[in-house]
Structure 1
Amino acid sequence: MMIDSHQHFWLYNPERDSWITEDMQRIRRDFLPADLEPVLRQNGIDGCVAVQADQSEAETLFLLQLAEAYGFIKGVVGWVDLRASNLYDRLEFFSQYEELKGFRHVVQAEPEDFMTRPEFIRGVRQLAAFDFTYDILIYPNQLKAAFHLVREVPEVSFIVDHLAKPYIRDQKIRTWSNYMTEIAKHPNVYCKVSGMVTEADWQHWKPEDFQPYLDVVFEQFGPDRLLFGSDWPVCLVAAEYDRMKSILENYVAPWGEEVRQKVFGANAVNFYNL
């Protein structure tokens, strides 16, 4: 089964979705399963994981409703307040939804030390009781805090979204590479090969721009802990789905069909228990 491990749906709201800036006009509209389903079919993808884009429980329920209505949505990564005093009760409530696989917080919008704060670590630790995963969405300057989090909570399965958004446009790699190497030493941490085109020069990127970053994650995480993700529809500001997908397809081609099957499906099935 071929899986896109990371994409989004939304009913566009300019106030709520202010992160979609003027230069992202292409995605300033609604994006729903009916828009994505033919794209997945054209690209040989059997299913996807829908990931939160808004920090609300309403967002989680919205995605779960879509997953119930559309069978190709195999899993949901939602949002819950991980610092809330009633977090256990909320996790217990959400555990009734089979399609809900884990949670994410938009940490990239938070201070650098956010993931090292005791109340956040306590919240993430509670995910283990319900076998929920946690998606790490950060910038490279937050990798040190991410390393602290995964070291403190070995009982939770983590996945780093978008390779932690390396500075591909500026071709900076050393500090990012050093921290990714350390994080990858923890076997409970996976990485999504996603979101790369939007970290490059949107209009002028070339496939070879991504090779140094792919070399790092393939060497450090290995083919068993890497997942293909499109970050659709966000990727559309820099590339159509097929062109974005071809970057990773061409990179893994020399590795053989077994590795391709893992990165484009089997690893997502294993990580999210799809």
Structure 2
Amino acid sequence: MIIDAHHHFWTADYAWLADPALAPIRRDYTLSDLRPLLRAAGVDRTVLVEGGLGASSETTSFLALASSAPEIAGVVGWASLTSPSLGAQLERHRAEPGGRLLVGIRDQVQGEDDTFLDRPDVREGLAVVASAGLVNELVVRASQLPSVARAIASLPSSTFVLDHLGKPPIAGGDLASWVSSMRPVAALPNVVTKVSGLVTEASWSSWKPADLAPYVDAAVSLFGPRRLMWGSDWPVVELASSYPQIKSVITDVLGGSDPDVFGGTAIRTYHLEIM
């Protein structure tokens, strides 16, 4: 069972796609676009992650879609961690069509300052997500990793997922500083991380597998395969690569299709019901 633990859908009018550099992916991406890629890459199931719209309506529509799409085993929805009605919002999503497929919540922490996760209201939001039995998913910049470690340590009963290996500075080649920031995160047992989104942290036009390898190798050393999961980060990946290419490259860098990285970790972490 091969699982893509991180992909998106969106429409061309998402505000963040207005950046001129993102013109190559400024179009609608749907399940119909993804299905042939899954078949070609031999991927059986996926986890659909919020795409930056910043609206609960996106989560509602994703859950409804997943309820009739056997490929989608789970949905990581969006919610504001500082919303005073966060708990009620999660209850509403759980009651919606496909609500049983809600496995996690992700806010756009990468757009906030480096100490956002230290705020009491944000910590309270993380606790609300955890109390609902959902994974706290974090998309952050590398400079936010120290606050990530503090937040994870403050909620030992919550499961955290760190997207994209914390967005290491691959294009700049600063492996040492990233490893130093990741080590305290990896020391915490209630977090796993995704081997995803790496190619767009490298040079989009000139990256090589050898550019990604030191970061993947370090992640294996820090977390071990049972705390790593692969995600395509499609369609963002199309800025620098393709779905089949990135799966092949990461497989090669890892030295094979590890059953935990390519499925087992996602099943355990998100409690996916795989038929």
TM class by smaller structure:
over 0.9
Aligned position for 2:234: 232
Deviation at 1:19, TM superposition (A): 4.1
Corresponding pairs, count: 268
Structure 2's unaligned 5+ residue stretches are none
Contact 2:80 2:86 in 1 (8 A): yes
For 1:105, the equivalent position in structure 2 comes to 107
Q: CA deviation at 1:17?
A: 2.6
1:105-144 superposed matches below 5 A = 105-144=107-146
Equivalent position amino acid for 1:81 in 2:
S
Read off the aligned partner of 1:11 and give its amino acid letter: T
**Equivalent residue number for residue 199 of structure 1:** 201
Instruction: Report what 1:33 is aligned to.
Output: 31
Alignment partners' CA distance in 2, 1:74 and 1:120: 28
> Structure 1: which amino acid aligns with 2:67?
E
- Whole-Å Cα distance in 2 between the matches of residues 50 and 219 of structure 1? 27
User: What are the equivalent positions in structure 2 for 1:44-193 lying under 5 Å apart?
Assistant: 44-53=42-51, 54-96=53-95, 97-193=99-195
Distance in 2, Cα, partners of 1:182 & 1:19: 33
Q: Which residue of 2 aligns with 1:4?
A: 4
Q: Letter of the aligned partner of 1:222 in structure 2?
A: G
Deviation at 1:30, TM superposition (A): 0.2
- Deviations, residues 118-153 of structure 1 (Å, cap 9, x unaligned): 001011011222210011101111111111110111
Name which of structure 1's ranges 19-28 and 121-130 shifts more when overlaid on structure 2. 19-28
Shift of 1:84: 1.8
- CA displacement 1:202-254 (0-9 Å, x = unmatched): 11111000111112110010010000000000000100111111221012226
Q: Which moved more, 1:218-227 or 1:166-175?
A: 166-175
- The aligned amino acid for 1:197 is V
Q: Secondary structure at the match of 1:142?
A: helix
RMSD, aligned CA: 1.3
Q: Distance in 1 between matches of 2:140 and 2:18?
A: 17
Q: Give the secondary structure class of the aligned counterpart of 1:94.
A: helix
Percent pairwise identity: 37
Question: How far apart, CA to CA, are the structure 1 residues paired with 2:211 and 2:176?
Answer: 15
Question: Match for 2:4: what amino acid?
Answer: D
Asked whether the equivalents of residues 125 and 155 of structure 1 are also in contact (C-alpha less than 8 Å), the reply is no
Q: What is the distance in 2 between the residues matched to 1:19 and 1:43?
A: 27
* Equivalent AA in structure 1 for residue 77 of structure 2: G
Q: Per-residue deviation at 1:23?
A: 2.3
Stretches of structure 1 that go unaligned for 5 or more consecutive residues are: none
Match of 1:268 in 2: 266
Distance 2:58 2:139 in 1: 17
Amino acid at match of 2:86: L
Give 1:99 shift. 0.7
Displacement of 1:93 in angstroms is 2.2
Please give the alpha-carbon distance, in whole angstroms, between the structure 2 residues aligned to 1:105 and 1:170. 26
Contact 2:60 2:93 in 1 (8 A): no
* Aligned counterparts of 2:35 and 2:193: Cα–Cα separation in 1: 24
- SS of 1:102's partner is strand
Following TM superposition, the consecutive aligned residue runs of length 4 or more in structure 1 with deviations greater than 4 angstroms are: none
How many angstroms apart in 2 are the aligned matches of 1:91 and 1:60? 10
Quick check: 1:95–1:130 contact (8 Å CA) kept in 2?
Answer: no
Q: What are the Cα deviations for residues 251-273 of structure 1, in whole angstroms up to 9, with x where unaligned?
A: 2226xx6xx11111111111111
Tell whether the 8 Å contact from 1:162 to 1:193 is kept in structure 2 after alignment: yes
| Equivalent position amino acid for 2:140 in 1 | I
Code of the residue aligned with 1:60 in structure 2: it is T
Scaled by the length of structure 1, the TM-score of the pair is 0.94
